[in-house]
Chains A and B, each alone.
Chain A
Amino acid sequence: MDNEQLIELAKKQNKNALSILLTSHYEIVYGYMLKLTLNPEVAKDLTQEVMVKAIVHMNKFKGDSKFSTWLIAIGTNIYKNQLKKNKRMVITEDFSFLDAMTFQHTSTEDAYIKRDNMKTILKLLNEMKEQQKIPFLLKHYYGYSYEEIAVILKIPIGTVRSRIHNTIKKLQDSMKGGLYEIV
């Protein structure tokens, strides 16, 4: 059974179909929350909240975007709300999760370098504002188009473009002198 059929069934309150959908998308959501929070425990809690919200509001999923995009949008909102409450966000950065991360089409040595780069980038991103960090993550880690990011974040495409541009510039500035040593 493909995703579309599962979604149709899930919208008709089919628990099994929804369960299959959520199970197959769990890691994507968890990975995203992890990159946002840099803390596995907080990421697990937030992923759980995304799952609960998806179950409650499944009938509101229109199907005009991918199911994973919808979950990512829910995750983004939950993360932003948490930041507003600012209760659980006092967290310590824990990069041990990067060791468990595998890279596609990459040799062991390259993967080591990429992991190191990723750590640097995530650390720098974590120091930035959410409005700069989130579009960059969605673009460079998930390959979403500007249009999709605009839909997820409910902002104009031009704003997405300029935010990503500013983030890249900031990253380059932050790593000036260090950029070319890292790679």
Chain B
Amino acid sequence: MKSCSFYETMILNEETSDKLNEHLKNCIQCQQLQSLMRFETTEIKLPDAFIEDAVKEAFIKAEPIKRRHDFFSTIVFIAVAIILVSIIITSLMIQDQLLKYYFGGVSLFMPFTVPVFSIIRKKVVMK
């Protein structure tokens, strides 16, 4: 018997039309294929107590993993922040040196460094 591929073609194209229903009425092969391929199952019923226990256990198991996960993401965040800040500072310093070289002594860091140095100096002098 030559096999009919009408149903197969229709489901592969995700088509469910009147044409298919009409075809299914007349074609035994496609009816058989349909009953073989479609399983409208309800999942296996597990006892409620079992599921509740399993979920509780999952929470207990997840706790240390989550803590470790949070710890590592904090570490990664801090590391990325440090790298970014050092990249920015280095590039500013390079820019600063270039400015100093080309414009003679004008420092970008002066507004920040002068007060800091003066505080340090005062403290050292006071001692």
Contact check, B44 vs A52: say whether CB atoms are below 8 A apart: no
Contact check, A19 vs B59: say whether CB atoms are below 8 A apart: yes
Contact check, A31 vs B36: say whether CB atoms are below 8 A apart: no
Query: Which of A15, A28, A97, A141 sits near B39, CB closer than 8 Å?
Result: A141
A23 to B50, CA, bound (A): 10
Kindly report which residue of chain A lies nearest to residue B35, judged by CB atoms: A183
Residues of A within 8 A of B35 (CB): 113-114, 117, 183
Contact check, B36 vs A23: say whether CB atoms are below 8 A apart: no
A106 to B62, CA, bound (A): 40
Q: How many A-B residue pairs have CB under 8 A?
A: 98
Contact check, A23 vs B58: say whether CB atoms are below 8 A apart: no
Measured between C-beta atoms, what is the minimum distance from A66 to chain B in Å? 15
How many residues of chain B are within 8 Å of chain A by beta carbon?
Answer: 31
Query: Which of A19, A44, A140, A179 sits near B55, CB closer than 8 Å?
Result: A19
B22 within 8 A of A: no
A166 to B40, CA, bound (A): 22
A155 within 8 A of B: no
A100 to B47, CA, bound (A): 12
30 A-B contact pairs sorted by A residue (CB < 8 Å):
A19-B55, A23-B51, A26-B54, A27-B46, A28-B43, A30-B43, A30-B44, A31-B43, A44-B54, A48-B54, A48-B57, A51-B62, A52-B62, A55-B66, A56-B69, A101-B43, A102-B42, A103-B39, A103-B41, A106-B40, A114-B35, A140-B38, A140-B39, A141-B39, A165-B8, A172-B3, A179-B32, A179-B36, A183-B32, A183-B35
Interface residues of B (CB under 8 A from A): 3, 8, 12, 14, 29, 32, 35-46, 51-52, 54-59, 61-62, 65-66, 69
Interface residues of A (CB under 8 A from B): 15, 19, 22-23, 26-28, 30-31, 34, 44, 47-48, 51-52, 55-56, 97, 100-106, 113-114, 117-118, 121, 140-141, 145-146, 161, 164-165, 168, 172, 179-180, 182-183
